Amino acid sequence: MKVLITGGGGFIGSHLSEELLSRGHEVFILEPGGTTKIRHLIGHPKFRVVHDSVMDMGILDSLISQVDLVYHLAAVVGVEHYVGDPYQVLNVNVNGTQNVLKTAFKYGRKVVFSSTSEVYGRNPNLPWSEDDDRVLGSTRIDRWCYSTSKAVGEHFCFAYHKMGLPMTIIRYFNIFGPRLDKLDAGRIITIFMGQLLRNEPLTVIGDGLQTRCFTYVSDAVTATANAGLQDDTNGEIYNIGTDVETSILELARRMIAISGASSEIEFVKQEDVYGQSYEDIGRRVPNATRMKEQLGVRELAPLDEGLRQTIEWFREEHK
Ligand code: UDP
């Protein structure tokens, strides 16, 4: 099969490219950014990189007309963007998604839309099943622009699905692994990683009792690939993540233990890191039943194993 991965040069896209190539598929990626995460795939006979963006309808048209399936992963993601540049978050995530869906609809190609656990916002009733409510704060709080942008994307998916477009929505829960973001930026694991490599204190916000379900990238990628390749996923939403909950404090302790670094833990105030325009989420846990039963990911990698692989990779990269 021929597939297009938008944002294929990013963290999950680079792993998904590897997975699909290893299953014998032909992979086109559309990537406006750098290619360091996919440099090892360049030259593969079934792999092609197009340096452009989902904001360009002409490129989308020529690519989507040639493929059988589209994984739409391109998005502006990361807390620093939600609070630093909400316009870009909304523009790319809403208009870019609309461009992809419009073109896929024109050619009748299935789309897998990468959404997020953020769509549930701070719904206090955990774990979250796919059809549960979204509970969000004020539009003055920039954090919610990402959640909202992805929810608009999901609504577009359902609207096009009603008109006949095959589509599947996947919602990622704190995916991590080698090639995640870049050191000191993006998500908590890369922030802690940078601090660990310099033996600096790990900055835990608040009391560190807020939790996440850290999901190793290989499991997320297996589920993602299957969501596109299986016929029985059409019109469905899937939570993609482990249901094992870990507090940020526990994460910091484990990362220090596994890495052997001499870092300590420093408790910091949220406002000092993100300013006033941010609101943290206390707990985030998926109901993972649908993913486990339908997407071929029953046993997920234990956190320590994933952390070991990730820490080793970042160490090698930053020697
Ligand atoms: N966090 C922290 N220290 C930092 C940065 C983030 O303790 O230096 C916490 C943050 O408050 C949140 C969690 O780590 O509770 C996960 O944050 P991340 O940015 O990875 O994304 P989120 O899961 O909130 O989307």
DSSP readout, 264-311? -EEEE-HHHHH-SS----S---B--HHHHHHSS--SPPPHHHHHHHHH
**Does 213 contact ligand 1 (Cβ within 6 A)?**
no
Beta-bridged to residue 247, according to DSSP, are: 211
Mutate which of 77, 193, 205 for ligand 1? The one with the most ligand atoms within 8 Å of its CB, which is 205
Alpha carbon of 61 to ligand 1 centroid (Å): 37
**Does 79 contact ligand 1 (Cβ within 6 A)?**
yes
**Does 251 contact ligand 1 (Cβ within 6 A)?**
no
Alpha carbon of 188 to ligand 1 centroid (Å): 5
Q: What is the C-alpha separation between 4 and 237, in angstroms, rounded?
A: 20
Mutate which of 82, 118, 188, 256 for ligand 1? The one with the most ligand atoms within 8 Å of its CB, which is 188
Model-level pTM greater than 0.95?
yes
Residue 274 pLDDT class (50, 70, 90 cuts): confident
At 136 the three-state DSSP class reads coil
Residue 20's φ and ψ, nearest 5 degrees, are: -70, -40
Nearest residue CA, atom 10 of ligand 1?
205
Nearest residue CA, atom 19 of ligand 1?
187
Nearest residue CA, atom 25 of ligand 1?
79
Mutate which of 248, 249, 271, 281 for ligand 1? The one with the most ligand atoms within 8 Å of its CB, which is 248
Residue 37 pLDDT class (50, 70, 90 cuts): very high
Sign of the CA dihedral with 76 first, then 82, 87, and 91 last: positive
In order, the DSSP letters of 195-241 are HHHTTPPEEEETTS--EE--EEHHHHHHHHHHHHH-GGGTT-EEEES
The two structure tokens encoding residue 235: 């019109």
163-190: burial string, b at 16+ Cβ within 10 Å, e else: eebbbbbbbbbbbbbbbbbbbeebbbbb
Name the average pLDDT for the chain. Answer: 96
Checking if the pLDDT of 277 tops 70, the result is: no
CATH topology of domain 2-176+215-241+287-300: Rossmann fold (3.40.50)
pLDDT at 270 (0 to 100): 86
Alpha carbon of 206 to ligand 1 centroid (Å): 10
**Does 187 contact ligand 1 (Cβ within 6 A)?**
yes
Residue 242 pLDDT class (50, 70, 90 cuts): very high
DSSP 119: G
Domain ranges (residues) in the chain? 2-176+215-241+287-300
Residue 272 pLDDT class (50, 70, 90 cuts): confident
At 182 the three-state DSSP class reads coil
Q: What is the C-alpha separation between 28 and 31, in angstroms, rounded?
A: 10
Instruction: Summarize the confidence of residues 135-146 as an average pLDDT.
Output: 93
Q: Which atom of ligand 1 lies at the shortest distance from residue 189's CA?
A: 20
Nearest residue CA, atom 6 of ligand 1?
188
Checking if the pLDDT of 150 tops 70, the result is: yes
